């Protein structure tokens, strides 16, 4: 039976964090999710920050959608409600596992830890399990754990998992040092046993691009965690989290109910080339009255029957450019589609005339190319032009994450302004830019899109 959204819910939960990126959070988090699922637990997977790729591995391990918890994108007041919402769907979870981002206290630059893993741990009142890369480190690991614990007393570090341990003697040294400072060790992963997923220019290769191999990686990670981590101790730690007393986030309440009775078909791009989408996007569109369907621009020759609006999120069109170009029927349909189109990052590239000289849809007048420069960071944006998703002047927080550039960088009617510059394109009923947004933070976008599709 699902918990009443208004009642307190004793949901066991914990946050997996690290002192910095590269310590093995995703390895441990994915393996832990899969190992707990093997035990018969219903596990709700979550990721701090805007990242789309790790939640794909989480979803594969847990058997339910991986969801993001990002105070910058949705506001701190929605973090605990979104956790409760995600942990309740499709069935109530027995435990929630939240993978952190970067280092424990690293958040939005210049905002003193805002949107950090520590910030989210405080917002959901969950204990932290610290993953430590112990390569070339002995007793100093205890000093590091102690410093992480003391830096913010409101963040409760309940234990550590030692990663990349060199030998049994090394493990004994580490355990003895951490015992001196009263930090429990809940697991120790040796360097020889480490399992990794392949990566490229923007991080791990998404699950959708390598499904059979991803299944094997997740299974290997489950084996790894089962053999090196004290799962009973992890469950005990998660059980120390107090009941969630906030109501669950409700997509219907967020959009104000259906925008009408028409139920327009809204096609959301998916498949290996367009893997970046938050689960709440489809939920908000459906709550606003849309019939949400998926279109794969690599394989589907046309939009689904009756499509009245299209959403094309992020992904890796640069990896699949030739195959996207080869689907000439869908490209031509999108070039002439008269309904509203919303495109973010990969969608922006796909709607242009060419990507690395390979023809794309030609709906927008820019060309795009790969560069050696990574553009990454949170953005405080303002909608520059009225569009199917925003009114001019609407403030929106988002993030950028790409190694491509477009020429020109914006149209005569730009989508956004930030840092005193124009960005993106609004052309007719098309809204396209590099900015990734989370519609739970501004649900009016979903309602406006459904209203525009219904007209």
3-state secondary structure the chain: CCCCCCCCECCCEEEEECCCCCCCHHHHHHHHHHHHHHCCCCEEEEEECCCCHHHHHHHHHHCCCCEEECHHHHCHHHHHHHHHHHHHCCCCCCEEEEECCCCCCCCCCCCCCCCCHHHHHHHHCCCEEEEEECCCCCCHHHHHHHHHHHHCCCCCEEEEEEEEECCHHHHHHHHHHHHHCCCCEEEEEECCCCCCCCEECCEECCHHHCHHHHHHHHHHHHHHHHHHECHHHHHHHHCCCCCECCCCCCHHHHHCCCCCCCCCEEEEECCCCCCECCHHHHHHHHHCCCEEEEECCCCCCCCCCCEEEEEECECCCCCCHHHHHHCHHHHHHHHHCCCCEEEECHHHHHHCCEECCEECCCCCCCEEEEEEEEEEEEEEEEECCCCCCCCCCCEEEEEEEEEEEEECCECCCCCEEECCEEEEEEECCEEEECCECCCCCCCHHHHHHHHHHHC
d(CA 383, CA 433): 11
pLDDT at 209 over 80: no
* Mean pLDDT (whole number) for 369-397: 96
Confidence of residue 1 (pLDDT cuts 50, 70, 90): very low
* Residue 80 confidence (pLDDT): 98
Q: Is 361 among the residues known to form the active site?
A: no
Which residues are paired to 355 by β-bridges? 358, 368
For residue 124 the two structure tokens come to 């959901």
Place of tokens 């029957």: 305
pLDDT one-digit tens code per residue, 8-42: 999 999 999 999 999 999 999 999 999 999 999 99
* Residue 192 confidence (pLDDT): 59
* Residue 203 confidence (pLDDT): 47
Note whether 431 and 342 are within 8 A (CB).
yes
Confidence of residue 191 (pLDDT cuts 50, 70, 90): confident
Contacts of 93 (CB under 8 A, 6+ apart): 11, 42, 43, 44, 64, 87
d(CA 131, CA 144): 11
Note whether 112 and 6 are within 8 A (CB).
no
Confidence of residue 311 (pLDDT cuts 50, 70, 90): very high
d(CA 146, CA 113): 19
Alpha-carbon dihedral angle through residues 59, 63, 65, 69, given to the nearest 10 degrees: -60
Q: What are phi and psi of 143, to 5 degrees?
A: -65, -40
**Measured CA angle at 62 (ends 190, 296), to 5 deg:** 115
d(CA 77, CA 59): 25
Place of tokens 């691009």: 209
Is the backbone of residue 320 left (phi > 0), alpha (psi -120 to 50) or beta?
alpha
Average pLDDT for the chain: 94
* Mean pLDDT (whole number) for 152-176: 96
For residue 260 the two structure tokens come to 């009408």
Note whether 206 and 56 are within 8 A (CB).
yes
Confidence of residue 207 (pLDDT cuts 50, 70, 90): low
Which one of the listed residues 161, 177, 244, 345 is annotated catalytic? Answer: 345
Note whether 433 and 413 are within 8 A (CB).
no
For residue 54 the two structure tokens come to 């790790």
């Amino acid at each position: 039976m699902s918990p009443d959204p208004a009642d307190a819910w004793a949901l066991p939960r914990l946050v997996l964090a690290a002192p910095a990126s590269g310590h093995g959070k995703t390895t441990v988090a994915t393996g832990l999710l899969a190992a707990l699922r093997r035990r018969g637990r219903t596990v709700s997977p979550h990721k701090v920050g805007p990242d789309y790729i790790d939640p794909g591995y989480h979803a594969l391990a847990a058997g339910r959608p991986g969801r993001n918890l990002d105070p910058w994108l949705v506001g701190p007041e929605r973090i605990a409600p979104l956790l409760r919402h995600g942990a309740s769907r499709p069935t109530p979870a027995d435990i929630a596992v939240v993978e952190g981002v970067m280092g424990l206290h690293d958040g939005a630059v210049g905002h003193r830890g805002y949107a950090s893993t520590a910030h989210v741990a405080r917002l959901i009142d969950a204990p932290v399990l610290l993953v430590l890369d112990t390569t070339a480190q002995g007793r100093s690991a205890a000093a590091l754990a102690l410093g992480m614990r003391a830096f913010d007393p409101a963040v409760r570090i309940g234990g550590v998992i030692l990663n990349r341990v060199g030998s049994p003697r090394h493990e004994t040294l580490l355990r003895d040092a951490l015992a001196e400072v009263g930090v429990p060790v809940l697991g120790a992963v040796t360097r020889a046993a480490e399992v990794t997923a392949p990566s490229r220019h923007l991080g791990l290769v998404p699950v959708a691009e390598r499904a059979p191999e991803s299944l094997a990686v997740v299974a290997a990670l489950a084996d790894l965690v089962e053999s090196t981590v004290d799962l009973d101790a992890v469950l005990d730690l998660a059980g120390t989290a107090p009941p969630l007393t906030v109501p669950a986030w409700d997509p219907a309440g967020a959009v104000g109910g259906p925008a009408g009775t028409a139920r327009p078909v809204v096609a959301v791009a998916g498949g290996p080339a367009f893997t970046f989408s938050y689960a709440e996007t489809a939920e908000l569109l459906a709550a606003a009255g849309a019939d949400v369907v998926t279109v794969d621009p690599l394989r589907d020759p046309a939009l689904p029957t009756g499509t009245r609006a299209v959403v094309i999120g992020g992904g890796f069109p640069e990896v699949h450019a030739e195959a996207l170009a080869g689907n000439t029927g869908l490209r031509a349909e999108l070039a002439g589609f008269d309904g509203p189109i919303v495109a973010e990052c990969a969608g922006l590239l796909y709607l242009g005339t060419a990507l690395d000289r390979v023809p794309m849809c030609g709906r927008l007048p820019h060309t795009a190319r790969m560069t050696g420069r990574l553009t990454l960071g949170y953005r405080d944006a303002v909608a520059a032009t009225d569009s199917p998703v925003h009114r001019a002047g609407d403030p929106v927080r988002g993030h950028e994450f790409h190694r491509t550039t477009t020429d020109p960088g914006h149209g005569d009617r730009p989508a956004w302004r930030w840092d005193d510059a124009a960005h993106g394109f609004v052309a007719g009923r098309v809204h396209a830019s590099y900015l990734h947004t989370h519609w739970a933070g501004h649900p009016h976008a979903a309602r406006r899109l459904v209203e525009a599709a219904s007209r």
